[in-house]
């Protein structure tokens, strides 16, 4: 054991040295934040105290537990926690979260609370300011205050539970000083006390990841540049091919069914300049730049679906979920199995390290999973500012309210920062570089968002309700607390019910003051100084779309449009995914005969990499090649044709056809739209299904014409132009005209980076990968400049079989333990996820039933003041003392015999020396 630990330390030391060298070469500013090398490498400090694996047997003594708690970790390091009470369960979960994911928890709370600068210096100062200005910590504090009031009124005990959870985290921190993850040693700081506020900040952290956006601002620039008619054409066509999540509100045919009317926009150059400058500036903030990149690649999404007992091969529902988020080491989700005897809780699923509930998963009665709804839950407003303390709201000069923060900056002391709030939200552009040029109106414009997460919300409390729900009614009741991020809740239960409910707060806007012809319903930023776009309420929970026990015997959500054209009362979405994943899953389930869908079929669907857009578009490319004049049918062109005609549209990393398709698609989209968009500096391109509609239905569309040439181009011209560029580009990249060697995996690779930039030695990958952005198993890349690295996709996969809850399966794309020298750092990624495999969930409700051969390690939590423990401890001490005295007495009376035996032993070993 010691030898292995020494090997791990040497290995880790090598990694650290490489990390620091990389930082030195490529990220010189980061050197200022690294602790002295001796503090990291010298024996007795730094890496020498970094934990590796958890102990095989561990006893934790903590006064105040209601009873003993037992934790079994299985062969994947997943904890199965058995407690007598909820409080004890929360404490134990906090402890194991900290044991496995402490640095990740610390980084997430610091991100929300503006405390990154404390540990990395002024590199994070603008990010800290921006995150504090957003209001996430402020509204988490307000939520905490409300939870305390609810607790005191006897309405629920959730505040007590997050207190117990915090106690568990803090007890680990207290009892393992100097044994923290290596990142602490490298950056030279220590974890501070965890609080219930930190837990609630993680809720806002997830809300930002899934719903914070700048779409209204980019959309305004696009509408202003292109004109409302062109923009409306794009948006009307965006329903093309969409299969609504809730099938009971009608369906879309292949013609446009949504009408967007509008006239010329009357937007001043000053406002447009302010918005443009703001959008440029936010890309300098690392977290915002990363979020924009993920949104651009459609990385943030998800799949979920459920089949009923008619469609399944088991006679009971089977439910599947895979949430698509950024990949990191460690991954965002932490698997856990939680049992509390006093309340009858027995739930398995995915938790956030830092929170005390299962976010998605199943208990003995129900299962649920999430995908992003794409509800429009955020609006941007612009205001005229009269002076530093006032702005115009609804025609009246109005004072700002303010929030002041002191940000501690490593090596520089404290910096005070004040946020100005309008009636609708915080001003976010006034502390960035937004100076107005002299050539523009001197009136200063400020930008402020209104966001449903900037409110008192109870998403973790909703999940707490899901953990306990025994039927659809109880689950729906808990759903009323789920406000932001709005999510499509897929549901199944042991009684055979299946359901889909897109849940969350959706604002109702008052557009009565919006100018005639100006797009309403939060599509574009509102003029707050004129009082436009006030929120006058939220769509009632009962009137949100929902579906139960569909006649098609399955339900699917994959971020496509939520409802069909028959849902007319409220506006829900202004944009949505192009719908290809949803189309493919619907196809696969619809084509599966009743009574045939089992666990293995569900795995196949989750891992499917057939490209629906390729299947829609490639036949037009094949047709265009085949109709070329003989003089243009070069050898390489015909080799390309052969690859495409023999392709089944699987984005297989070992094939050349996916490479050709994907490179051609980029050029095809660019050559269709970029001449018009770039001519007017429009930032937003149409979704892919708009290009599909034009290709299928409008071969002479004006969009195919290149406005920079005197000729009138059509679909075929652009298809062949894109093909020529594709062949030229791929010849340059691969360096060979052997088309069959243009493997997709050389260009499309999967990367799982460490949470912090510069820590590349702790990252995993790149690995060659199958798939693309629009496959059910997604991995979006940009290959415009060569190799593309997918940095997001399925962040977990799980499958629940209600005919046998021991036949449930899951996987995460990392490991449970965020300790790089642990075998559980990347075991699920490398042994399962990348191989298309899953592990079984061990769902046993008692320690007696849990199979011993699946126990890798265990923890016993014991109350020091427990009378039973005191009796056991006292007995052990008495027995130990008695045995010790007996050994001394026997040794004294047998001393001559012992000496004689000792001399005989020494003589046999070579004699005795006096």
Beta strands at 378-387 and 444-451: parallel, antiparallel or unpaired: antiparallel
Give the residue among 135, 110, 293 at the shortest CA–CA distance from 214.
Answer: 293
- Is residue 249 within 8 A of residue 400, CB to CB? The reply is no
Angstrom distance (rounded) from CA 355 to CA 196: 9
Phi/psi class of residue 241: alpha, beta or left (left: φ > 0; alpha: ψ in -120 to 50)? left
Of 467, 465, 472, 468, give the one whose Cα is nearest residue 498. Answer: 472
Nearest Cα to 70, choosing from 78, 52, 86, 58?
Answer: 58
What would the two tokens of residue 59 be? 């006893």
Give CA–CA dist 550/440, Å, rounded: 57
Number of CB atoms found within 10 A of residue 412's CB: 12
Look at residue 906 in the predicted model and tell me its pLDDT: 59
- Phi-psi label, residue 450: left if phi above 0, alpha if psi -120 to 50, beta otherwise: beta
Amino acid 57: pLDDT: 96
Distance from C-alpha of 31 to C-alpha of 307, rounded to nearest angstrom: 54
Distance CA 914, CA 903 (A): 11
Backbone angles phi, psi at 630, to 5 degrees: -55, -35
331: left (phi over 0), alpha (psi -120 to 50) or beta: beta
Q: Are 137 and 129 in contact (CB under 8 A)?
A: no
Burial environment of residue 152 by CB neighbours within 10 A (0 to 12, 13 to 18, 19 or more): exposed
Give 136-185 pLDDT, tens digit per residue: 999 999 999 999 999 999 998 999 999 999 999 999 999 999 889 999 98
Structure confidence at residue 757 (pLDDT): 86
Q: Over the range 615-641, which residues count as b (16 or more CB within 10 Å of their CB) and which as e?
A: bbbbebbbebbeebeeeeeeeebebbb
Edge to edge, the sheet with strand 69-73 lists: 57-61, 857-862, 69-73, 79-83, 333-340, 345-352, 358-362, 366-372, 487-493, 498-503, 547-548
Kindly report each contact of residues 196-199 with a partner whose C-beta sits within 8 Å and lies 24 or more positions away, as own/partner. Answer: 196/144, 196/147, 196/159, 196/162, 196/163, 196/165, 196/166, 197/137, 197/140, 197/141, 197/144, 198/105, 198/109, 198/113, 198/166, 198/354, 199/162, 199/165, 199/166, 199/354, 199/355, 199/356, 199/460
Pairing of strands 69-73, 764-768: unpaired
Spatial neighbors of 867 by CB under 8 A, at least 6 apart, are none
DSSP code at position 27: -
Q: Is 749 within 8 Å of 768 (Cβ atoms)? A: yes
SS3 781: coil
| CB-CB contact of 220 with 474 (8 Å) | no
The two tokens of residue 332 are: 């965002």
Helices of type H across 357-419: none
Predicted TM-score of the model (pTM): 0.90
Give the helix/strand (H/E) hosting 727: helix 715-734
pLDDT at 29: 45
Q: What is the pLDDT of residue 892?
A: 56
What are the pLDDT digits (tens) for 777-801?
999 999 999 999 999 999 999 999 9
Question: Can you list the residues of the chain whose pLDDT is less than 50?
Answer: 1-2, 9-10, 16-18, 20-31, 42, 44, 256-261, 436-440, 869-870, 872-873, 877, 911-914
Query: What residue segments make up the domains of the chain, in order of their start?
Result: 875-913
End-to-end Cα distance, the chain: 37
Centre a 10 Å sphere on the Cβ of residue 846 and count the other Cβ atoms it contains.
11
């Amino acid at each position: 054991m010691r030898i292995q630990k020494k090997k791990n330390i040497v290995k880790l030391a090598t990694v650290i040295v490489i990390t620091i060298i990389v930082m030195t070469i490529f990220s010189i500013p980061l050197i200022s934040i690294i602790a002295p090398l001796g503090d990291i490498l010298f024996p007795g400090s730094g890496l020498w105290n970094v934990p590796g694996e958890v102990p095989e047997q561990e006893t934790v003594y903590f006064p105040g537990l209601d009873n003993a708690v037992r934790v079994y970790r299985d062969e994947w390091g997943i904890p199965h926690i058995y407690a007598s009470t909820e409080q004890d369960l929360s404490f134990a979960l906090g402890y194991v979260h900290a044991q496995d994911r402490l640095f990740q928890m610390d980084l997430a709370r610091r991100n929300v609370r503006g405390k990154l600068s404390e540990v990395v210096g002024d590199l994070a100062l603008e990010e800290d300011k921006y995150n504090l200005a957003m209001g996430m910590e402020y509204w988490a504090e307000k939520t905490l205050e409300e939870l305390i009031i609810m607790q005191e009124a006897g309405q629920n005990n959730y505040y007590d539970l997050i207190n117990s959870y915090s106690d568990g985290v803090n007890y680990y921190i207290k009892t393992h000083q100097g044994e923290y993850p290596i990142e602490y040693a490298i950056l030279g700081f220590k974890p501070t006390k965890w609080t219930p506020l930190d837990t609630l900040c993680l809720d806002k952290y997830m809300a930002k990841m899934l719903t914070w956006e700048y779409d209204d601002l980019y959309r305004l620039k696009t509408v202003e540049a292109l004109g409302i008619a062109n923009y409306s054409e794009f948006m009307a066509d965006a329903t093309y091919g969409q299969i609504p999540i809730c099938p009971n509100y009608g369906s879309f045919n292949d013609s446009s069914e949504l009408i967007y009317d509008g006239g010329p926009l009357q937007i001043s150059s000053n406002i447009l300049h302010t918005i443009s400058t703001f959008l440029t500036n936010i890309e300098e903030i690392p977290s915002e730049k990363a979020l924009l990149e993920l949104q651009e690649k459609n990385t943030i999404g998800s799949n979920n679906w459920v089949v009923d007992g008619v469609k399944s091969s088991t006679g009971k529902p089977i439910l599947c979920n895979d949430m698509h988020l950024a990949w990191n080491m460690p991954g965002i989700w932490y698997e856990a199995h939680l049992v509390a005897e006093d309340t009858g809780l027995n739930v398995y699923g995915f938790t956030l390290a830092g929170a005390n509930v299962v976010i998605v998963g199943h208990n003995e009665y129900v299962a649920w999973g999430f995908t992003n709804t794409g509800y429009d839950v955020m609006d941007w407003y612009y205001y005229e500012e009269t002076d530093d303390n006032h702005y115009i709201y609804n025609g009246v000069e109005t004072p700002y309210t303010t929030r002041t923060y002191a940000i501690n900056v490593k090596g520089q002391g404290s910096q005070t920062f004040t946020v100005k709030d309008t009636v609708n939200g915080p001003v976010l552009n006034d502390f960035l570089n937004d100076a107005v040029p002299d050539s523009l109106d001197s009136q200063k414009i400020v930008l402020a968002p209104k966001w449903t997460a900037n409110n008192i919300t109870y998403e973790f409390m909703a999940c707490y309700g899901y953990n306990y729900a025994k039927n659809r009614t109880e689950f729906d009741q808990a759903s009323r607390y789920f406000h932001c991020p709005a999510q499509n809740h897929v549901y199944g239960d042991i009684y055979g019910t299946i359901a889909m409910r897109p849940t969350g707060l959706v604002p109702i806007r008052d557009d009565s003051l919006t100018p005639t012809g100006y797009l309403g319903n939060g599509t574009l930023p509102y003029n707050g100084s004129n009082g436009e776009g006030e929120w006058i309420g939220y769509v009632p929970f009962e009137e949100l779309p929902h579906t139960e026990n569909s006649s098609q015997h399955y339900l699917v959500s994959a971020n496509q449009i939520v409802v069909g054209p028959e849902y007319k009362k409220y506006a829900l979405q202004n944009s949505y995914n192009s719908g290809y994943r949803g189309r493919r899953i619907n196809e696969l389930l619809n084509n599966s005969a009743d009574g045939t869908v089992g666990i293995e079929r569900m795995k196949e669907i989750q891992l499917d990499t057939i490209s629906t857009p390729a299947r829609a578009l490639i036949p037009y490319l094949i047709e265009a090649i085949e109709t070329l004049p003989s003089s243009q049918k070069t050898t390489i062109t015909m080799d390309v044709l052969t690859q495409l005609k023999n392709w089944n549209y699987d984005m297989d990393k070992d094939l050349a056809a996916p490479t050709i398709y994907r490179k051609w698609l980029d050029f095809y989209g660019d050559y269709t739209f970029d001449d018009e968009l770039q001519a007017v500096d429009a930032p937003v391109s149409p979704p892919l299904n708009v290009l599909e509609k034009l290709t299928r239905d409008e071969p002479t569309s004006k969009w195919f014409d290149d406005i920079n040439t005197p000729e009138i181009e059509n679909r075929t011209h652009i298809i062949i132009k894109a093909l020529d560029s594709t062949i030229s580009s791929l010849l340059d990249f691969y360096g060979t005209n052997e088309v069959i060697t243009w493997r997709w995996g050389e260009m499309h690779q999967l990367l799982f980076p460490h949470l912090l930039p510069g820590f590349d030695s702790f990252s995993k990958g790149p690995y060659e990968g199958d798939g693309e952005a629009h496959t059910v198993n997604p991995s979006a890349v940009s290959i415009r400049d060569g190799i593309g690295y997918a940095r997001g996709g399925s962040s977990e996969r799980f499958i629940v079989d209600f005919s046998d809850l021991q036949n449930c399966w899951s996987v995460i794309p990392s490991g449970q333990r965020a300790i790089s020298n642990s075998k559980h750092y990347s075991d699920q990624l490398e042994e399962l996820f990348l191989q298309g495999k899953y592990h079984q969930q061990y769902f046993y409700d008692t320690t007696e039933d849990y199979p011993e051969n699946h126990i890798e390690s265990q923890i016993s939590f014991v109350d020091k003041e427990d009378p039973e423990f005191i009796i056991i401890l006292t007995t052990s001490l008495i027995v130990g003392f008695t045995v010790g005295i007996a050994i001394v007495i026997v040794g004294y009376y047998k001393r001559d015999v012992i000496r004689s035996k000792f001399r005989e032993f020494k003589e046999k070993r070579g004699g005795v020396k006096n």
